[in-house]
Chain A
Amino acid sequence: QQQVKQSPQSLIVQKGGISIINCAYENTAFDYFPWYQQFPGKGPALLIAIRPDVSEKKEGRFTISFNKSAKQFSLHIMDSQPGDSATYFCAASYSSASKIIFGSGTRLSIRP
């Protein structure tokens, strides 16, 4: 099973709040889990990525939490800002295949 399931489809958060987006996967061969950010009119761009040998990775206000046993990972955006308003995609890939599988996306809106 190649699917990566992402939720919620849309999310509204007040400025300064925490935004949380969740993803789940089936294929235990996946060994690389990136998150991409897409602004209107642009292609997605890598935000942060994690490998399953760690449970958490933090870069500035963005944190990935990874639960290998549950086959779930999530993106946390601390102190959310209006400039964070974008569509976020989780993704997964594995060593023996070159392809990258994306989730369905979450449209995040940060209210001023």
Chain B
Amino acid sequence: DVKVTQSSRYLVKRTGEKVFLECVQDMDHENMFWYRQDPGLGLRLIYFSYDVKMKEKGDIPEGYSVSREKKERFSLILESASTNQTSMYLCASSETAHTEAFFGQGTRLTVV
């Protein structure tokens, strides 16, 4: 059974903290994505990676960075967490842009 695993389901952090969200996939997929999901705004792309150590900005990259040192792992970093980054974060992977994207269960991050 294919799987995308996010390290935490729920996370509470303080304003100004550096936050790491980890995602691991076991399907040997080239592409990995980070989205945030907010009511009424759908899934907004933060960053994606199409190869190890390769990354591209999505639609809302401000305040975030990413790291992909190994093919199976894609990390999202909040450099200095702010309350407006309170959201559900979803990681996904896919073989190509034309194949199914598999999602993790999400990390609900609250910044206080």
Give A contacts to B, CB under 8 Å.
2, 6, 9, 31-32, 34, 36, 41-46, 49, 51, 89, 93-95, 97-105
Interface size on B, residues (CB 8 A): 29
Given A43-B90, A100-B33, check contact A95 B97 (CB 8 Å): yes
Is B97 in contact with A32, judged by CB distance below 8 angstroms? yes
Give B contacts to A, CB under 8 Å.
4, 30-31, 33, 35, 40-45, 48, 50, 56, 58-59, 90, 92, 94, 96-98, 100-106
Q: Is the interface of A mostly helix, strand, loop or mixed?
A: loop
Is B4 in contact with A46, judged by CB distance below 8 angstroms? no
CB distance from B49 to the nearest CB of A (A): 8
Given A2-B59, A43-B103, A89-B42, check contact A99 B90 (CB 8 Å): no
B4: A residues at CB distance < 8 A: 43
CB distance from A21 to the nearest CB of B (A): 12
